[in-house]
Structure 1
Amino acid sequence: MARPRQTLLTRERIIGAASALIDAEGLDALSMRRLATELGVQGPSLYNHFATKAEIVDAVADAVVAQVDVSFFATCAWPDALKRWAMSYRAVLAEHPNIVPVLAQGPGRRPAALAMAEAVYGALIEAGWSYARATHIGALMRYLVTGSALGSFALGFDVDPQLYERYPHLHYAPLLAEHHEAVDEGAFELGLDLLITGLAARQEMGTR
């Protein structure tokens, strides 16, 4: 009888399986042995594509960043492009929250992350911002987007009404959890609008 054909192991399959595992169970669940089991292969075969677990995590992070839409910088004025990009970035991170701590560390050597940084930074420079200020804006945007994706403000409050009897201004805090998506999204959008409006005003005043 012919031997059953094995599915070809590729970088893409490894990244996909690792991403699914991280999404489902978190970064701590990922190991070379667990990943090999998920793929139905022997552990050593993974090393033909990735030298370490850290390389796989980097590849997963880059694959997530590759989903962010940066096309706005080629078609829109910088304020609108910055807003649309930030919203796309946050939406992608919301789909993959467990990889956010890795992305919060910066682009490192990841191609998609560096391409995204190039698109944002390049658009700001072309819009007339100084190199230093464009760097500051890029950093600020990363703080806002990744920070909003790292955790929920609304879910940080307990739902027990008795807890807040000593804190009269927090009377409605127990209701935040029930509406956490609207609260967190509203806070992000408000911050984004204020940030971009403020930057646009500074540019109009010639402060770049």
Structure 2
Amino acid sequence: MPRPRSHTTAQLAAAALIVIDRDGLPGLSMRAVATELGISPMALYRYVRDREELEALVVELVLSAVDTAPPPPGPWPGRITVLARRLRETMCAHPAVLPLTLTHRHRSHSGLRWSETVLGVLTEAGIEAEERVLALRALIAYVIGASQLEHLGPLSGPGTTAIADLPGDQFPYMSATARDARSVTPDREFDGGLELLLRGLA
């Protein structure tokens, strides 16, 4: 007879998220999560098959905080902007989890619910069939990609400073653009890029 479980999958996900927030994604391991829970690493396998399943639980935990309710009526670009901002805000609360969202978003009920709401807004705007497929993929790629850039390669970071100091005769556009980037806030960067994307979809 298998031993009874003393923890829930929600507790496992919460413990794994604590590990990731503290030690980064490289620090996530079955042993680290087991230590956080005060159990043996082998006991963890009574709850999940492997690390991949544990990662999926973490993604669902993070994305479960996203407000997926349809935004108030209005022009569709504004409604999509509201949904994109909600997803960004939720994911950026745990930036180390961002790389996992691309891999496990299909297994997250909350992530699927967000996409369903986005698709509803797009459909109401007359965006359907193949165009709707491309629009959803582009929006997901933008929100996740922009959120990763915000935390892994921010405009105010040392990379931008180094580019701004490149010789102007060899990299006139890169160096000038990097200097301009210093005054761009994370919110302006996200909203500005999203506006360009939505303008193209329109």
TM-score (norm 2): 0.80
Q: Which residue of structure 1 aligns with residue 141 of structure 2?
A: 143
Q: Which residue of structure 1 aligns with residue 51 of structure 2?
A: 53
Q: Which residue of structure 2 aligns with residue 126 of structure 1?
A: 124
Q: Which residue of structure 2 aligns with residue 19 of structure 1?
A: 17
The letter for the 1-side match of 2:58 is V
Distance 1:168 1:80 in 2: 36
| Residues 159 and 175, structure 1, Cα contact 8 Å, conserved in 2 | no
Q: Which residue of structure 1 aligns with residue 3 of structure 2?
A: none
| Residues 72 and 84, structure 1, Cα contact 8 Å, conserved in 2 | no
Choose from 51, 68, 73 the match for 1:76.
73
The letter for the 1-side match of 2:39 is V
| Residues 159 and 174, structure 1, Cα contact 8 Å, conserved in 2 | no
Q: Which residue of structure 1 aligns with residue 160 of structure 2?
A: 157
The letter for the 2-side match of 1:16 is A
The letter for the 2-side match of 1:57 is E
Task: Tell me how far 1:137 sits from its aligned partner.
Answer: 0.9
> How much identity, in percent, do the aligned residues show?
28
Structure of larger gyration radius:
1
Q: CA RMSD in A?
A: 2.6
Distance 1:62 1:47 in 2: 19
Distance 1:112 1:70 in 2: 8
Matched residue count: 189
**Offset from partner CA, 1:105-137 (integer Å, 9 cap, x none):** 462222222222222123322332212111111
Task: Tell me how far 1:160 sits from its aligned partner.
Answer: 8.9
TM-score (norm 1): 0.78
Uncovered stretches (5+) of structure 1, i.e. residues with no partner:
1-7, 203-208
Q: Which residue of structure 1 aligns with residue 99 of structure 2?
A: 101
Change (3 A) 1:133 1:43: same
More displaced 10-residue stretch of structure 1: 103-112 or 58-67: 103-112
Choose from 176, 179, 187 the match for 1:185.
187
Distance 1:168 1:132 in 2: 39
Distance 2:145 2:135 in 1: 15
